[in-house]
Amino acid sequence: MKRHFKICEVPPRVSPQDWSDWHWQMRKSLQSPQDFAAYKVQLTEDLIRAFESRSFQVRSTPYYAQVALQMAAKSALHKILVPDIAELTSHGQQMLDPLAEKKHSPVSRIIHRYTDRVLFLVTDTCSVYCCYCTRKHFTAQGEAGASSQEYSEALEYIRSHPEVREVILSGGDPLTLSDERLEGVMGDLRQIDSVEIIRVATRMPVVCPMRITDDLVNIFKAHKPVFMMTHFNHPEELTSQAAIALEKLVDNGVPTFNQMVLLNGINNHSAIVRELSYRLLLLRVKPYYMFHCDPSEGSAHFRTSVENSLQIQRELWGRTSGLAMPNLSLDIPGGGGKVGLTPNFEISHRNHFRTYVGWDGLQGVYESPPESEVLTPPDADLYQQ
């Protein structure tokens, strides 16, 4: 089946030159009910109340508003952008910092949860503030990058912890920084011998694909290996403009992976996940993670059940290429880290014999060698950290 990537049309009131300029997209961000009304959002009393009552900032690029509110009129993508009075309810688990990132922040702007990698929060600004965001405790606070003192402290922390081999630039969205600022960050990290991998966690290819310029790609190439971690949630987000941006990255040697979040009533169906995965794969983007939604404040209506998530994964199993299969994971509230969720295909276990049933109902028995026969490779100690 040939998959088509729709064009996001330029609104008649905007020049194509402005529309294709990521700086213009940032300057013209939608933030008020009136801004969204220009993109055909009906200003109901509930919507006005949601805008006035929520404690978290609202923002969208004009491009993404055009995609979510017009192109995908039959989907529920607009719920990612537009406040809902459901955010004001207190039912269900709700936490301002569900992943306990503050607990794992030894210095400002650094989150060190896993031994060999850190998150470097280079800015608290995003071009779009998603209503289900897990980092509401940090984003859109000062609308700025790290101060010179915070920046120096973060670099010194990384420098003084040689076990850190990987730095993930996050925030906010690091691609809201200027090219000059971003190149400076990457250049400083490349001066630290122990840093091998730089990851960039961004939603810009989704919400502002015009940000992926030739100059930006050249910065990534100059500081390789740089891995791009993007965040498409729905097939409708993969427009022709987004496809061009993604192919520009991979054509220039920037490995690109996608992390999606299962959102109740928006994308929590195996057919939607499968279509997104195959469209990504056609563009040489690896579907990487499929996250269960975190219990951040105001997000209870976005969270689907764990049983529903597992059912989606089970329906994908065997019917979707392994290349297109994202890893279903959940972040343990309170800072416990990621845990993989996998449908259980084992139906019995007796002595060394384990019986499994496949996705299509076929059963088979696997004889597992006893633990006494398991050997440790002789050179394993050479690779111990």
- Tell me, yes or no, whether 272 lies in a domain: no
Domain termination site, one of 53, 86, 119: 86
- Tell me, yes or no, whether 376 lies in a domain: yes
Q: How far is CA 210 from the centre of its chain?
A: 18
Domain termination site, one of 86, 101, 125: 86
Cα 217–Cα 208–Cα 298 angle in degrees, nearest 5:
125
Active site residues: 113-114, 117, 126, 130, 133, 135, 294, 331, 338
pLDDT of the residue at 72: 60
Cα→Cα distances 294→56, 170, 220, 231, 333, Å: 16, 17, 30, 15, 8
Q: Which residue stretches of the chain are H helix?
A: 16-19, 22-27, 33-37, 45-53, 62-66, 148-159, 179-189, 204-207, 214-222, 240-251, 270-282, 306-316
- Tell me, yes or no, whether 31 lies in a domain: yes
Domain termination site, one of 86, 107, 122: 86
The pTM (predicted TM-score) of the whole model is 0.92
- Tell me, yes or no, whether 330 lies in a domain: no
pLDDT of the residue at 328: 94
pLDDT of the residue at 175: 97
pLDDT of the residue at 268: 94
Q: How many domains does the chain have?
A: 2
pLDDT truncated to tens, each residue of the chain (385 aa)? 567 788 999 999 999 999 999 999 999 999 998 998 888 888 888 888 888 877 788 899 999 999 988 766 677 888 888 888 888 777 778 878 888 888 999 999 999 999 999 999 999 999 998 888 888 777 766 666 788 999 999 999 999 999 999 999 998 899 999 999 999 999 999 999 999 999 999 999 999 999 999 999 999 999 999 999 999 999 999 999 999 999 999 999 999 999 999 999 999 999 999 999 999 999 999 999 999 988 888 888 899 999 999 999 999 988 899 999 999 999 888 888 888 888 888 889 998 899 999 888 899 999 898 888 888 888 888 887 6
pLDDT of the residue at 48: 87
Compute the residue count for the chain: 385
- Tell me, yes or no, whether 318 lies in a domain: no
- Tell me, yes or no, whether 124 lies in a domain: no
**Which range marks the domain in which residue 46 is found?**
16-86
d(CA 151, CA 381): 36
- Tell me, yes or no, whether 41 lies in a domain: yes
- Tell me, yes or no, whether 306 lies in a domain: no
3-state SS, residue 354:
strand
- Which among 318, 278, 273, 279 is positioned nearest to 291, based on CA atoms? 273
